[in-house]
Chain A
Amino acid sequence: MPIEPQGTGLREEELERSDVLTVSYQPMARYAWATGIAISRFLRGLKDGEIVGTKCDQCGRVAVPPRIFCEWCFRRSGTWIKLPDTGIVNTFSISYISTDTTRVKTPTIPAVIQIDSAGNAGFLHIIGDVKPEDVKIGMHVKAVWLEPEKRKGSITDIRYFKPTR
């Protein structure tokens, strides 16, 4: 049976001109998430210029960002380990848009950084100090840290990762 789809499409101008009635609303929902055992430890490590992971006593997998459990063995993770602040680019993008899709002049280079000696494990961060066209998957990179006094226990305590060359 062929359908006759219903619906009244509008153009942005029609909404802006109030051709149709609307209600505008600013949500005020605010949160303060407890970072808990594992991420608190990770963020404190960043403040100290260290990347902290966990190692499962059973399967030996290294997890970074760390967690108090191994999701594959389903048991409490055994050991905190200090990891190097170097790794390789697992994948990357060259982004010309900000969070709200507005265009930016200087591209951002987000990447998944696989931390050295952590197996497959890594985290999302930004690549810097390199021309976009020179970034390659497999490239070795090192963290560029904020000055110690400016760090606040955040993922942004690492300013970006740059090629080690």
Chain B
Amino acid sequence: MSLSQWRCRSLRRVAVVGVGVTPLKPTTPEVSYKELIFDAALKAYADAGVDPRRDVESFVCSSEDFYEGTSIFDEYVPDQIGGALKPVCTIAADGIYSLATAYMQILTGVFDVVAVEAHSKASDIVNISPIYDLALDPIYVRPLGLNANFVAGLEMNAFLHSSKTNLMHCNKIISKNRKNALSNVIAMNSTNAVPRRDRVLSYPLAEEDVAPLADGAAVVVLAAEDTAKSLRDDLVWIKGAGWASDSPNLETHDWDTATYAALAANQAYGQAKITNPVADVDVAEIDDTYSFKELQHAEALGLAGARKAHEMLEQGVYDLCGDLPINPSGGSLGMGHTLEMSGLVRVIEVVQQLRGMAGKHQIAGDVETGIAQAWRGVPTASGAVVVLSR
């Protein structure tokens, strides 16, 4: 859909009124997934000043069965978020998709307050590789017996080749994000250490290019304008939401370009009336499941000219103190990668930045507009974008 088509649509205003997130950790043996989610829900409802049993009218959760080890996992979601005997549904995707779903539900006029949940209990998974393997095409790709990270290897090589980006740029992303994470209290992978490239997973992809898996839970509460204004003063508005997919077949998807991110951004920017993202966006939290993805996504989101993201990176534009900080939270490389929660934890970071409540990694200056973006990981070509403003 073109930008002009979005202009003529007048939509209800929807705000983020509460956020809650648990610290990200490599493992959380002390709590079950329900108990982890309950913690995040308590925080979010306290932040919003709502009672979920009384005030929240609908709940949208995010999960995939093979990440949980349970079929029909949506069975296990209502109690710990206060949703029992209420409209609750699961979107099998990243938390930003669920946020977009909640946004749509409020836009219909049927609900005023909707909660969004996403989590990762990655430490319950004994070994992630066989699960990624199950996502590969069973006829054409899986029989090759290769680790699914070969897909990231092929994409990375294609991207480096066509964008003239090099491994030093990838290292700089890793360093920047892990360093940013040093001042983020929920991050688990913060360090000043120099990235190493000695353990290659799928050339050119090395182990430290890959964000380590983390456990965590996140809940975000959205409300329609009138309700939102009655709940708090420092509202953060959803200005646009987009989600899109390129071909799901590796053979026909773009190897070197994040087309899904560009399409999703076009949708979200269209709603938000953003025409020049470099100028209009003050902070961006974007997917960095693999180091190179941050640059590829920055380009797709219009935060750099085509094939120019590495130059912006070199100039320090994306640094915490740069003109357009990317991943001040530390991103997945610095915070840890939380599967389908990856996007929602970024939404929470942008909300805190816009509120001026990000703590030690609060970016300087006036923060008016931020974006959060998610990608669903290999072998998908799907992702979502949300534009948030004060």
A residues bordering B, Cβ < 8 Å? 23, 25, 27-39, 67-69, 71-74
Residues of B near A34 (CB, < 8 A) are 28-33, 121, 123-124
A23 touches B142 (CB 8 A): yes
Residues of B near A25 (CB, < 8 A) are 138, 142
Encode contact with A along B7-44: 1 for CB under 8 Å, 0 otherwise.
Answer: 00000000000000000000011111111101000000
A68 to B121, CA, bound (A): 18
Interface size class of B (residues with CB under 8 A): 35 or more
The residue on A at minimum CB distance from B80 is: A69
The dominant DSSP class at the A interface is mixed
Asked whether A71 and B82 contact (CB < 8 A) given A31-B69, A34-B28, the answer is: yes
B302 at the interface (CB under 8 A from A): no
A131 to B376, CA, bound (A): 53
B124 touches A37 (CB 8 A): no
B127 touches A36 (CB 8 A): no
B110 at the interface (CB under 8 A from A): no
A36 touches B142 (CB 8 A): no
A29 to B53, CA, bound (A): 36
Residues of A near B125 (CB, < 8 A) are 29-31
A39 to B32, CA, bound (A): 8
A69 to B34, CA, bound (A): 10
B residues bordering A, Cβ < 8 Å? 28-36, 38, 45, 51-53, 66, 69, 78-80, 82, 84, 121, 123-127, 130-131, 133-134, 138-139, 142-143
Q: Which of A23, A31, A71 contacts B143 (CB 8 A)?
A: A23
Residues of A near B131 (CB, < 8 A) are 29
B130 touches A37 (CB 8 A): no
The residue on A at minimum CB distance from B45 is: A74
Residues of B near A67 (CB, < 8 A) are 34, 79
A39 to B52, CA, bound (A): 24
Q: Which of B29, B52, B126, B138 contacts A74 (CB 8 A)?
A: B52
The residue on A at minimum CB distance from B54 is: A74
A33 touches B79 (CB 8 A): no
Residues of B near A23 (CB, < 8 A) are 138-139, 142-143
Residues of A near B124 (CB, < 8 A) are 31-34
Min C-beta distance of A90 to chain B, whole Å: 19
**27 A-B pairs with C-beta separation under 8 A:** A27-B130, A29-B66, A29-B125, A29-B134, A30-B125, A30-B127, A30-B130, A31-B126, A32-B126, A33-B32, A33-B121, A34-B29, A34-B32, A34-B121, A34-B124, A35-B32, A37-B30, A37-B32, A37-B35, A38-B32, A69-B38, A69-B80, A71-B78, A71-B79, A72-B53, A72-B84, A74-B52
A71 to B121, CA, bound (A): 21
Residues of A near B139 (CB, < 8 A) are 23
Residues of B near A68 (CB, < 8 A) are 35, 38
Residues of A near B121 (CB, < 8 A) are 33-34
Most chain B beta carbons < 10 A, residue from A23, A25, A71: A71
Min C-beta distance of B115 to chain A, whole Å: 11
A36 touches B30 (CB 8 A): yes
Most chain A beta carbons < 10 A, residue from B31, B84, B134: B31
A73 touches B32 (CB 8 A): no
A67 to B139, CA, bound (A): 43
Min C-beta distance of A33 to chain B, whole Å: 5
B53 touches A73 (CB 8 A): yes
Min C-beta distance of A118 to chain B, whole Å: 17
Residues of A near B78 (CB, < 8 A) are 71
A63 to B282, CA, bound (A): 48
A74 touches B53 (CB 8 A): yes
B51 touches A74 (CB 8 A): yes
- A33-B69, A38-B35 given. 20 additional CB < 8 A pairs? A25-B138, A27-B130, A27-B134, A28-B127, A28-B130, A29-B125, A30-B127, A30-B130, A31-B69, A32-B124, A33-B33, A33-B121, A34-B31, A36-B32, A36-B36, A37-B35, A38-B32, A67-B34, A71-B78, A73-B53
